[in-house]
Structure 1
Amino acid sequence: MKKIIPNRKRFYFSLAIVLLFIYAYDFMEMRISTPTFQAVLSDNPLGYRARFDTLEQDGRALRYLEIGTDSLPLVVFIHGAPSSSSFWKTFLRDSSLLSKAKLMAVDRPGYGYSGYGQPELSVKKQAALIAEAIREKRGQHPAVILHGSSYGGTVAARIAMDFPDLVDGLLLQSASLKAGSEKTFLFTHITRHWPFRWLLPGSIHVANMEKLSHKAQLDSMAGLWGRIKSATILLHGDEDGLIYPENAIFARDHLENASFLEFKMLEGRKHDLLWTKRALLEKSLEKLIRLTAGGADALALPEG
């Protein structure tokens, strides 16, 4: 019997992972239609109704939603990959957050209902599109805070770089921020080729294409960190095997002009802080709300 060489074993293993993604896709909540999502979000203790809208700019569409009171600070959630605004549904129904801020979540280009399956590899263009949606709301709110998760953190950082006067607070959680400091799976390279690409759900195709462009996009941002002026909190797990911990260390060392900077490397935590450290994420958002609404005096306020 012919011996299978290790490279071929890796190929078959990666192909098996791809097939698992394909068949598991129907059971993975990658996006929720507007009517269904509106019904899901209406189940909140304060009785708020979510409003959905679509912004079109330079040939790309951006679906986003808002829920809460206009007079409060605006918290904008930016998801990673593969995902969509539905990723944030638990946060968007949280009574504590809704009592302190209006909440907004976007479908990044290529995900959800923002040109599903069509990648936008330019982080600069993604940032400009989301910034335009924020700009339309800016005058209604005393402050704007961005929460970027994983590759959503890349986009959030780029918004704060390119539109510093638009962003008052920044929560970068498990964020991809340093070029070349993340894991890339073999199947990501395999499925970039057309014989395999057609097998994939659109969201995974977009995620793969983004993954392969991460280094170039982050390299283009390397000299722009000094533009960020907003109060910033960095949270990362010290055992994150997907987006490595040095991403947060890199950002900490380059955020020289942030008005406030807090850095937490969470012991024993991986790339799952949205599930394992949700209370800390909410407290971090609430701290940024206090900071941006009350200035330095807010640091004296309790966090509970």
Structure 2
Amino acid sequence: MKLFKKILKIIGVIVLLLFIGLYILFYIATAPKSDKKVLKEFQELGVTPTITKEKFKTFEYRKVAIVKDTTLPTIVFVHGTIGSVLDFKRYMTDSLLLRKANMIIYDRIGYNYKDKNNVQESIAFEVEMLEHIAQELDSSKTILAGYSYGGPIALASKKPYKKVILFAPAVYSKVEPMPWALNFYKWKLTRWMVPPIWRQASKEKMTHREDLKNFEQTWGENPNQVVSIHGNADGIVPFDNSTYLERKLPKERFELVTIPEAGHGFIWSNFTELKNELLKQLN
């Protein structure tokens, strides 16, 4: 019996150490990166971007830009929840795309490196910030490209642009899933376990469904050509979001591109397919 208890204690200690180790790795891997690390990751892919600190209202945020030819269109990427300026680094460093467009991405409030601000939990705020960033660009040459939560932000802007491209956009409240893992943030006893950046993501996720109701009946008012690219095996932002847009937007201004068997992480796993779609939209 004593030997059995000893073995159980040893197993318990090993499991605890493994859990702590995995938690630390997860914490580090998902935490926002410093400017130095962001620059290094881009340079490893052969491109040196311009990284600046910008102001919007009382907030400071990070913007990463690759502008080589001002006569070309500019794609402004809007990341999702959780997300960062590194989400589209492969696209922003791709030689074929760089021949066709300049590219900009920014950290939304609450997702910046060592950000002391909370997420704003407001699509209206995010749209205002996006329009502030895009105001310095020629709108006739500007493409808004929103991924996941960034989708409704790009779509909610009523200003005219060259095009709006959506990647798995979370635009329909009725099919918005609420993952069980959110309970770790909801429960006060376990909230301390949730890394800071995931607390911000949880806040945003918990209010997204209700916030969408303020916008989803007006998606058809967007004046731009809208392209929604979506994987039909997406379990995080269901494909029904894009078919909802297909019903809401005029046929002459909407195109749905289906990526077969692709999940929500398709901006990474299906890079070549999505890059080719972007190239197609730039032609």
Q: Give the equivalent residue in structure 2 for 1:206.
A: 200
1:244 Cα offset (Å): 1.1
Where do 1:150-165 residues align within 5 Å?
A: 150-159=148-157, 161=158, 164-165=159-160
1:61 Cα offset (Å): 2.5
1:220 aligned counterpart, secondary structure: coil
Change (3 A) 1:59 1:259: farther
Match 2:254 to one of 261, 267, 270: 261
Where do 1:248-287 residues align within 5 Å?
A: 248-256=242-250, 260-287=253-280
Gap regions ≥5 residues in structure 2? 1-18
TM-score, with structure 2 as normaliser: 0.84
Q: Distance in 2 between the 1:121 and 1:223 partners?
A: 19
Where do 1:114-129 residues align within 5 Å?
A: 115=115, 118-129=118-129
Where do 1:56-95 residues align within 5 Å?
A: 56-69=55-68, 70-95=70-95
Establish whether residue 239 from structure 1 lines up as the match of residue 233 from structure 2. Answer: yes
Change (3 A) 1:192 1:102: same
2:254 maps to a residue whose letter is L
1:38 aligned counterpart, secondary structure: helix
The root-mean-square deviation of aligned C-alpha atoms, in Å, is 2.5
2:112 aligned counterpart, secondary structure: coil
Gap regions ≥5 residues in structure 1? 1-17, 291-304
Establish whether residue 223 from structure 1 lines up as the match of residue 209 from structure 2. Answer: no
Q: Distance in 2 between the 1:179 and 1:20 partners?
A: 37
1:208 Cα offset (Å): 0.7
Count of residues in Structure 1 that have an aligned counterpart in Structure 2: 264
1:221 maps to a residue whose letter is F
Question: Structure 1, residues 146-197: CA drift from partner, whole Å, max 9, x if none?
Answer: 22111111222123x3xx22x2211111110101313212231341344433
1:30 Cα offset (Å): 4.0
1:32 maps to a residue whose letter is K
**Partners of 1:76 and 1:104 within 8 A in 2:** yes
1:101 Cα offset (Å): 0.6
**Partners of 2:176 and 2:209 within 8 A in 1:** no
1:115 Cα offset (Å): 3.1
**Partners of 2:83 and 2:111 within 8 A in 1:** yes
Q: Distance in 1 between the 2:38 and 2:252 partners?
A: 36
**Partners of 1:30 and 1:86 within 8 A in 2:** no
TM-score, with structure 1 as normaliser: 0.78
**Partners of 1:123 and 1:155 within 8 A in 2:** yes
Most deviating of 21-30 and 202-211 = 21-30
Most deviating of 24-33 and 61-70 = 24-33
**Partners of 1:238 and 1:268 within 8 A in 2:** yes
Rg larger for? 2
**Partners of 1:42 and 1:49 within 8 A in 2:** yes
**Partners of 1:237 and 1:245 within 8 A in 2:** yes
1:127 maps to a residue whose letter is V
